[in-house]
Structure 1
Amino acid sequence: MMRILLFLATNLAVLVIASITLKLLGVDRFTGQNYGSLLIYCAVFGFAGSLVSLFISKWMAKMSTGTEIISQPRTRHEQWLLQTVEQLSREAGIKMPEVGIFPAYEANAFATGWNRNDALVAVSQGLLERFSPDEVKAVLAHEIGHVANGDMVTLSLIQGVVNTFVMFFARIFGNFVDKVVLKNEEGNGIGYFVATIFAELVLGILASIIVMWFSRKREYRADEAGADLAGTGAMIAALQRLRAEQELPVQMPSSLTAFGINGGLKHGLAGLLMSHPPLEERIEALQRRAR
């Protein structure tokens, strides 16, 4: 129920911000062949969704995962967690992020936040219970790598770009079908809306493939950062432990999946929509790097 409310609140915020922006730009709607206005219209809505999600990402992450922020450590494990993140952050050249633990049996962790000096790093209770201190440190280093590399901002901007062009070309296709194929000369007919929705579905899948390709590339870079900060052996060991637990389902909100240490496993065509490369390939990449 909470995730549904968060989804609705986010979309309402996007609509409000986009509407105000379009009013200020004097581009309330697209008509005719004014492709410049159409591009502005699509860019506002395309970037509004990704940027609003980015700016409220920490709040949404806490609410959707039940992450408990460690403000005052109550146990030696929490004290160690804070000290480790502080050390890794200092070595990575970023400001100390908020640190939290979320209640999940599967081993996972994530980083989020709108910039590298205002981030959140959280680990699952299951990971803390079953991983060795060196492995936990490597996982934290991987997430710090995401933050230091600016991956949250980068993927949000990429998402905004592809959203823009999906909307843009879908509406051009809808207009073509409505005006040229169906010969409708009175506003936008049913053909426009049906063709636009169809084009958005098809182009949306292609756009997701592009975004996930970038996400997988950033994952390799985060692994490299983790190896630099925590040691290649520890980073490989952490990934091997994750591979040993591969059968456990990964339950993470979709908005956080790209920045989790473990993104699940898909095969075949679905593999193009993976946010993470297969763990075997990530391990091999680190082993090649260490030679």
Structure 2
Amino acid sequence: MNMIRTAMLLAFMTALFMGVGYLVGGTGGMMIAFVVAAGMNLFSYWNAEKMVLKMHHAREVDERSAPEYYGIVRDLARNAGLPMPRVFIIENQQPNAFATGRNPENAAVAATTGLLSRLSPEEVAGVMAHELAHVQNRDTLTMTITATIAGAISMLANFALFFGGGRNNNPLGFIGVLIAIIVAPLAAMMVQMAISRTREYAADRRGAEICGQPLWLASALNKIARSARQIVNEDAERNPSTAHMFIINPLSGQNMDNLFSTHPDTGNRIAALQAMVQGGGTASAPSAGGSGIEGPWVQARRQRKGPWS
């Protein structure tokens, strides 16, 4: 099912990219866009996660450089029955996190310094369990490729703004340029919204099962949402096509209209997690039969209130 969904997404985004090419340069522009899109799809499959991590200036850490944070991810990955992902830290005061990678064997998780400094170890565990749920559900490939192509569509639309509209190339003239500038990026945004909104609830639920405590994630979501409205994420503002990858919309501090939010309402997500507790879903067994999240990282954090990184 995930392979079919990914294939359909790639087909739609490729068609959208070709459509913008047609509006900018007619049939010739469409063919060039097709070649570019085909190459971009292939490149994105193998390299998109590296591009996203670079966009946000993420640095890789290990057990020696960030023992507590790394330990959280290691214990949760074991509980979920997942290979150990690469672990990154983003120097950014806005608390947030995302996962990326084409499959669980080539996955990476990233958390901001703001998240690691403002949240408790239990809340960090809830967030990272959510991100590992995306990895386990194989959402990361779809989300990462969408970010790459959506960014390319926006760039092509900007190109149309400055160079499109000529009668010799553009069959629809200035109207075609307007469509390329407005409609195509909006359509790409709608795809991002549809993907993120439908997958966030599933990742919340599976993440709560992985860490065993839905309220840890609920508390984290509440803190992240409040801080995201107050702290600007400069890298996310420069690369808005990656917004849907984060656990909370990193652009919400810029007066984003809820209608065009890439994420479901945080209050609804918290309510769903609270309903798991009321329904007795507080500690579903991890898929790998792990021993729970009461690991060495919790004990170390309680004994020594040192920095995460």
What is the TM-score normalised by the length of structure 2?
0.64
Is residue 113 of structure 2 the alignment partner of residue 125 of structure 1? Answer: yes
| Structure 2 unpaired stretches of 5+ | 1-16, 18-25, 152-165, 280-309
Q: Does the aligned pair in 2 maintain the 1:51–1:156 contact within 8 Å?
A: no
Q: Which of 133, 140, 144 is residue 152 of structure 1 equivalent to?
A: 140
Cα 1:158–1:59 change in 2 (3 A) is closer
- Counterpart for residue 202 of structure 2: 221
SS at match of 1:100: strand
Q: Highest Rg: 1 or 2?
A: 1
Aligned partner of 1:96 among 77, 84, 101: 84
RCO higher in structure (CA 8 A, sep ≥6): 2
Q: Does the alignment pair 1:58 with 2:39?
A: no
Q: Residue 69 and residue 46 in structure 1: after superposition, are their counterparts in 2 closer, same or farther (change >3 A)? A: same
1:206-249: CA deviation from partner (whole Å, max 9, x where unpaired): 34223312211111111112111112121111112223424323
Question: Counterparts in 2 of 1:16-165, with a 5 A limit?
Answer: 30=27, 44-46=35-37, 48-74=39-65, 78-155=66-143
Q: CA RMSD in A?
A: 3.6
Give the secondary structure class of the aligned counterpart of 1:110: strand
Question: What SS does the corresponding residue of 1:258 show, helix, strand or coil?
Answer: helix
2:255 pairs with 1:273: no
Q: Using a 3 Å threshold, how does the CA distance of structure 1 residues 72 and 237 change in structure 2: closer, same or farther?
A: closer
CA contact (8 A) 2:44 2:148 kept: no
Q: 1:88 to 1:43 in 2, by over 3 A?
A: farther
Task: Verify the 8 A CA contact 2:230 2:253 in the aligned structure 1.
Answer: no
Instruction: Tell me whether 1:236 sits opposite 2:228 in the alignment.
Output: no
1:158-197 equivalences under 5 Å are 188=168, 190-197=170-177
Pairwise CA distance, 1:50? 5.0
Query: Secondary structure of 1:101's match?
Result: strand
Q: Contact 2:76/2:210 (CA < 8 Å) preserved in 1?
A: yes
Q: Aligned letter for 1:138?
A: G
Match of 2:248 among 262, 265, 268: 262
Q: What is the SS of the residue equivalent to 1:73?
A: coil
Is residue 2:185 matched to residue 1:199? no
1:97 CA drift (Å): 0.8
For residue 103 of structure 1, report the CA deviation from its aligned partner.
0.9
Give me the TM-score of the superposition, normalised by structure 1.
Answer: 0.67
Q: Which moved more, 1:277-286 or 1:49-58?
A: 49-58
Task: Give the % identical residues.
Answer: 28
Number of equivalences? 237
CA contact (8 A) 2:49 2:144 kept: no
- AA of the residue aligned to 2:249: G
Other structure's SS at 1:143 match? helix
